[in-house]
Amino acid sequence: MQKTGKTMTFTRYLLSEKPEYRSRIDQLSDEAWPVFLLNGDVHHWHLLFETFSAYQILFIDSAGVLIAAGHTVPLTWDGSLSNLPQTIEEILLRAEQSHLQNQEINTLAAVAAMVSSEHQGQGISSRLIQEMKNLARQHAFTSLIAPVRPTWKSRYPLTPMEHYVKWARTDGAPLDPWIRVHWHLGAQPLCIAPNTLTVKGSVDQWQEWTKMIFPESGWYLVPGALQPVQIDCERNIGRYEDPNYWMKHPVG
């Protein structure tokens, strides 16, 4: 299936059709996320590749280069806010449980979307979300839900998430570009997910991950973090919680 972004052509595959792209996805991940985020409390990431490879969307160009990847998992959700998974780990575990217990699966949950840095700003992420919606539709699910990690929030780490997600441009569209992509495609806001992933490490580890020095205990603004990181030099521990914004795409 050939697709076009604003300026380029690529083909959409599922990882189950191209298992040899597994290590390329890891490379894209390493490029897409701040290092500290790759050290969070997510222990079942491997399910994406082992159990749910038919739900991993890949965009590959004519030279065979992976230009974007979208991670999703199928799960059971009763439609209420209280039944939303709280963390990325919980999304993965819910999907595994729904699968193992043969529950009626009705929802596709997005876990991550990544576009390689050379191809960003060309509208490719929008195509990725559309493909997630198509996948949900093909499985006759009723919705696609996404814990959206707002890409500009790291520019405003002191602003509470509750305020940030409401900021809008003069044309009424959300200020944050990534929330805006979902909004343009018809997503509705659900609620804040205050902590989808916790990163804990020693002070040395945090210094290594961030290339910063933390001479004393306190709250620090760290590049790529959506809110401050707490460093406790006496206990030799640094802690960060990654907030997201749950949004829901109807899949008609």
Q: Tell me which residues touch ligand COA (CB under 6 A).
A: 32, 112-115, 120-126, 149, 151, 177-178, 180-181, 184
The residue (of 59 and 214) whose beta carbon lies closer to ligand COA is 59
Alpha helices by DSSP H, 1-138 = 22-32, 47-50, 88-100, 124-138
Residues in the chain: 252
98 or 125: CB nearest ligand COA: 125
Instruction: Work out how close the CB of 10 gets to ligand COA at its nearest, in angstroms, rounded to a whole number.
Output: 12
CB of 124 to ligand COA, least distance (A): 4
Q: How far is the CB of 180 from ligand COA (least distance, A)?
A: 4
Q: Find the shortest distance in angstroms from Cβ 92 to ligand COA.
A: 15
Q: Output 168 or 237, the one with its CB closest to ligand COA.
A: 168
Nearer to ligand COA, 151 or 230 (CB): 151
Strands 9-14, 56-61: pairing kind:
antiparallel
Select 95 or 181, whichever has its Cβ closest to ligand COA.
Answer: 181
Select 124 or 203, whichever has its Cβ closest to ligand COA: 124
Interatomic CA distance for residues 56 and 12, integer angstroms? 10
The H-or-E segment that residue 179 falls in is: helix 177-184
Radius of gyration of the chain (CA): 18
From CA 95, how far away is CA 249, in angstroms rounded?
Answer: 18
Q: Least separation, in Å, of the C-beta of 100 and ligand COA?
A: 26
Beta pairing partners, 232? 237
CB of 155 to ligand COA, least distance (A): 11
Question: For 10, which DSSP code?
Answer: E
Using the minimum distance from each CB to ligand COA, give the nearer residue, 242 or 251: 242
- For Cα atoms 135, 166, 220, give the angle at the middle one, nearest 5 degrees: 95
Is 244 within 8 Å of 71 (Cβ atoms)?
no
- Can you tell me whether residue 134 is helix, strand or coil? helix
Contacts of residue 59, Cβ cutoff 8 Å, sequence gap at least 6: 3, 10, 11, 12, 66, 67, 68, 69, 124, 127, 128
Q: How far is the CB of 204 from ligand COA (least distance, A)?
A: 26
